Structure 1
Amino acid sequence: MTFLKRHAYTILFSTALLGANTYTLLKTFVLPSAQAQVISSQTSQTVASSDSGQVTSTDNSYQDDNISISITSGQTSDTTYYVADIKLSDASYLKTALAQNTFGTNITQTTSSQAVANNAIFAINGDYYGANSTGYVIKNGVIYRESSRNSDYDDLAIYADGSFATFNESDVTTQELLDSGVVNTFAFGPTLVSDGEIAVSSSEEVGQAMSSNPRTAIGIIEEDDGSLHYIVIVSDGRSSESEGLTLYQMAELMQSYGVTTAYNLDGGGSSTMYFNGQVINKPTTNGNTIKERAVSDIVYIGY
């Protein structure tokens, strides 16, 4: 009894500290916290006609008057990867969406669920903004988060005309980005290809991740005629069938398709490619289980 009285303060303090730490972890990684509902863009981005005209669709291709998508697959470095070659008549068909149409922490849905909810023809996972408390978030021309992240990696900006550029958050504000015509930003990285040249080293990695991973990357081919031409690559990994790619290997792949700029999005268990109602790749979560991970946002093609 005397021992308990003597150490009561220590026990109470330790219990309170444990409770506070537990709540912090739950708030960061588990408890949903909505901060804003999705609102319409306030930019002057042209809204293209939703009239798709005649549609021709197969298991690995889609063609209408405005959108052309071709899906192929390949093997490299004991890894299966999937390539989407995308051509658009208007940049407004390249969109982003937030899980449950809500901006916040730990608000997630699978890529395929978000794709279905937004009538997407094609979709991939985005940058999983909800896993971080900082980092610019501009989606479809709306600023959702203005606090900058402390990272050596640049962000990707997509402009209203469909062009790509990378930038460092310390050099520009979200309002300046919006005023310059940016409609979407992605705070992940790194930049894989810049001006047609590989922009990562052979030993570079995101944080403490394994060197060979499932990956998702998006790139643009700058055509002489100004047409909109994108390359998206998703690789499988962490399985006996598919080892996964390093950042440098993904950059090499992107460069081989002629992209001028390519950017690394969230990978690992998040890496998912959806097309015409089906998940194309084999998303692998921890434990080597083939299953989609719920994520906070997607990039998609649709009306």
Structure 2
Amino acid sequence: MLIRIYIFLLFLLAPILGIFLFFGQNNPYSSLESGSLVEGHMEILEHNEMIRSNLFVKRELITETQLLSHVSNEILGFMQENANEELLDYLEQQEKLNLIVEASARHQQKSADLIDSLLATMLGDPIGQTFGENSIVKVYSLQEAGYRGYMAKVRLHNPNAIKMLLANDEIASNGETTSQAAKRSGAVLAINAGGFTSQNGKLYPIGITVIDGEIVTFYDTSISFIGFNKKGHLVGGNVNSREQIKEMEVQQGASFHPILLKQGVKQNIPARWANTRHPRTLIGHFTNGDLFFMVVDGRREGWSTGVTLEEAQDKLIEFNIRDAYNLDGGGSSTFYYDGKVLNKPSAGQERRVTTNIVVMP
């Protein structure tokens, strides 16, 4: 019985004894030196350390990238928020600007309607109207105001619709009538403009003359200047230098005397011009900016003796004129509209002059 138990234990231990015998005779590490094992182990440790370092660096890069991405998103969000605020501010300002423009347009139209109503009350309905692409021209007879003559109210759509024309486009010339200037330029309205003098059988403009932005004469600066700037607005007064002309952006201009109104206030009439009746050519603009042209006949018994500049000042204020100037008068005064001369020049016919103001339809 005991023998059987030994045999049974021997069978159980046989596999274990076989393994010991195998490794004892065929140890796979027996051929490796202890130094090689250490070196291999160190390489494995270094490689693992490198992997851990790379993983750490990658984690750092990932963290920084995530941080930068977060900051970038915050910046973009801030910029977007500011952009939205700026856009809202812009739209709000644009809306306010549109409201101002609309209010200004309504105010201007209301002012124009009030002036039209005023003129209709004082002078009756226009005797002629031209609604052109470049301008609107309304012409009135001055008979209801007690004068023989005509007045025009002009609204420019195009600042280039108003021109100062030299006679035959020459500084020294034989002169040109107002109707000739109007017809050769295709104008619907025209009046004579600046003064002139005669030398050696030729006519020359006096003072300052500007044609299409070019100063073509610059003589006596003591004479008042009357012109139109790049926007077609009436400008003028006492001009002493070429620089002033450039600063005022004058495109068209001529000279005569005196100034009648400034900002609705009467200006002093020099003694040589005071309280004398003559045919007159006047220019100005209404309180709403529309241009004003006026010619009064004179020196014709039984028809009209003319008007004094003092009387003209009072009448202009009644017409709601803000700024006004006296142009060359006497036999030069001519009012041309829609193909013909409406007034009666004092000499019985038009006088040849050196400059005329024309308005395109």
On whether the aligned pair clears a TM of 0.5, the verdict is yes
SS at match of 1:239: coil
| Aligned counterpart, 1:124 | 191
Q: Pairwise mapping of residues 59-78 of structure 1 onto structure 2 (< 5 A)?
A: 60-75=128-143
What corresponds to 1:245 in structure 2?
Answer: 307
2:174 to 103, 107, 111: 107
Instruction: Look up the match of 2:239.
Output: 169
Q: 2:218 aligns with which of 146, 150, 156?
A: 146
Residue type of the alignment partner of 1:135? G
Extract structure 1 runs of 4+ deviating beyond 4 A.
130-134
Gaps of 5+ in 2: 1-125, 199-203
Q: Deviations over 1:182-207 (max 9, x none)?
A: 11222102111111112134x85439
C-alpha separation in 2, matches of 1:174 and 1:107: 27
The Cα offsets for residues 138-193 of structure 1, whole Å up to 9 and x where unpaired, read as: 122111112334x3x532232111223333233xx224412441112221021111
Greater Cα radius of gyration, structure 1 or 2: 2
Look up the SS of the partner of 2:320 in the other structure.
coil
1:271 alignment counterpart: 333
Per the alignment, do residues 120 and 130 of structure 1 end up closer, same or farther by CA in structure 2, a change over 3 Å counting?
farther
Structure having the higher helix fraction is: 2
Structure 1's 77 and 248: CA in aligned 2 closer, same or farther, altered over 3 A?
Answer: farther
Q: How many residues align?
A: 230
Q: Distance in 1 between matches of 2:254 and 2:336?
A: 19
Residue identity in the other structure for 1:126: A
- The match for 2:356 is 298
Q: Does 1:259 align with 2:321?
A: yes
Q: Which moved more, 1:70-79 or 1:270-279?
A: 70-79
Q: CA deviation at 1:133?
A: 6.9
Identity of aligned residues (%): 27
In the superposition, the TM-score normalised over structure 2's length comes to: 0.59
Structure 1 position 190 matched with structure 2 position 248: no
Cα distance between partner residues in 2 of 1:219 and 1:133: 21
Structure with higher strand content:
1
Other-structure match for 2:158: 90
Q: Which residue pairs with 1:212 in the alignment?
A: 277
Local SS of the residue matching 1:281:
coil
Q: Which amino acid aligns with 2:179?
A: S
Tell whether the 8 Å contact from 2:139 to 2:150 is kept in structure 1 after alignment: yes
Q: Is the 8 A contact 2:205 2:355 kept in 1?
A: no
Matched residue type, 2:322: T
Deviations 1:42-78 (A, max 9, x none): xxxxxxxxxxxxxxxx962211243111111123796
Paired residues of 1:91 and 1:162 also in contact (CA < 8 A): yes
| RMSD of aligned residue pairs (Cα, Å) | 2.4
Partner residue in 1 for 2:117: none
Q: Report the TM-score when normalising by structure 1.
A: 0.69
Stretches of structure 1 lacking an aligned partner (at least 5 in a row): 1-57
Aligned CA distance change for structure 1 residues 103 and 199 (closer, same or farther; 3 Å): same
What is the CA–CA distance in structure 2 between the aligned matches of 1:139 and 1:206, rounded to whole Å? 28
